[in-house]
Amino acid sequence: MTDQADRLRELIRQMKEREQRASAKEHPDMVGQSERSRNVKAVTVSGDEAFIGISPDGKRPPAAGIRAALPNWEDASADFAKETRVIAVASGKGGVGKTNFVLNFGLALRQLGHRVLIWDADFGFSNLHVLMGQTPSVTLLSLLEKELDIWQAVTPGVEGLEYISSGQGMRELFHLTEEKLNHFLTQFMQLRTYADYLLIDLGAGLSTHSLKLIQAADELILLTTPEPTSMTDAYALLKLLVLEERLLPVHLVINRAKNEREGVAVQKRMAAVAERFLSLQLNLLGVLLDDQHVEQAVVRQQPYMLAFPKSPISRRTRELAQRFIDGQPSSSTSTRPMTRASFWGRFREIFHSVSPISHGKR
């Protein structure tokens, strides 16, 4: 017990020192940190973890217990309550309906009276606009190449929803010259108090760039289906976040379940494994059943919330959005969001830590 207590105290000390260094005006430790995180780590899922990842010997991974040891991150901004709440939406693999979920979830939040902005951050494959039958005239790539105003990239969607399309410019976003990087950061920071929610629709899988955005977000919505491969990949994503020691509140949504019973069973199973082997509590946000109206809405190039407002999938999406706003997950297996610096307080760090200018290159 003594060794464990000493180890825990040492972990807390190291994490406090890391946070103090990161909050300094100059970031002398960022170069080393960037080198370590330049390539996303391979996450092994084996043994008893077969369906969602647990080590064969039953021991917790090295980062287990980190949540209990995490210090409070205090936001230095007096206007934190007014800042846009940034929610990253990710999945372990493609084909789980993530972009469709982001669009309709955002629309549900909008219908509940909130201002919503969606950032389509799928690297090189932005297609959110297709689901609305639109073509954005300005993308982030345009903003970078022509040094445009950020408001030119904010595109009106449907029913008051707004979005920013990355076009093919996301990869370039992380390899900018100092001048272009400063322009982008200055422009994007204008969104800091613009909306109630900024939903970041990340690409399938997990690249270094996606990981950076997830780590910086205020919260994460993790979307998976009952398929074993989808569950395994979703768990691997959680495990990677724990090993990277940058935890954030995680909301779990099960999509395309055959029925309520199956969806709830998957939720509880993933939550139990995450808590036992990662010391990570998940907010069980809800279950969305497989519904033919989703495919029909895609063909119409309309959100199903508008094309079929009375359908079961639309009703459940509204309930899920309301539950998210209320902060009352559908299960007692949950945790309140931890206090830490907001997305906007870490935003510059994201790009400086992976941009060539951080390594003395111009």
Mean pLDDT along residues 227-233:
95
pLDDT-based confidence at residue 204 (cuts at 50, 70, 90): confident
> CA-CA distance, 10 to 71, in Å (whole number)?
13
**Number of structural domains in the chain:** 1
Can you give the pLDDT at residue 277? Answer: 95
Mean pLDDT along residues 200-204:
90
Q: Would you say residue 113 lies in a domain?
A: yes
> CA-CA distance, 138 to 210, in Å (whole number)?
22
Can you give the pLDDT at residue 276? Answer: 96
Q: Would you say residue 115 lies in a domain?
A: yes
Q: Would you say residue 28 lies in a domain?
A: no
Can you give the pLDDT at residue 272? Answer: 97
Residue 80, pLDDT > 80, answer no
Can you give the pLDDT at residue 13? Answer: 52
End-to-end CA distance of the chain: 51
Cβ atoms 356, 38 nearer than 8 A: no
Helices 208-216, 228-243: inter-axial angle, 10-degree rounding: 70
The strand pairing partners of 87, in sequence order, are: 199, 219
Q: Would you say residue 90 lies in a domain?
A: yes
Can you give the pLDDT at residue 30? Answer: 32
Q: Would you say residue 26 lies in a domain?
A: no
Percent of the chain with pLDDT over 70: 68
Can you give the pLDDT at residue 58? Answer: 41
- Average the pLDDT over each of 92-106, 128-142, 165-179, 331-345 and give the range with the smallest value: 331-345
Greater confidence (292 vs 344) lies with: 292
Q: Would you say residue 107 lies in a domain?
A: yes
Greater confidence (28 vs 329) lies with: 329
Q: How many residues does the chain have?
A: 362
> CA-CA distance, 261 to 308, in Å (whole number)?
24
> CA-CA distance, 120 to 103, in Å (whole number)?
10
pLDDT-based confidence at residue 194 (cuts at 50, 70, 90): very high
Percent of the chain with pLDDT over 90: 51
Q: Would you say residue 144 lies in a domain?
A: yes
Q: Would you say residue 96 lies in a domain?
A: yes
The residue range of the domain holding 100 is 40-70+82-359
Domain CATH number, residue 143:
3.40.50.300
- Average the pLDDT over each of 40-49, 89-98, 291-300 and give the range with the smallest value: 40-49
pLDDT-based confidence at residue 332 (cuts at 50, 70, 90): very low
The pTM for the full model equals 0.76
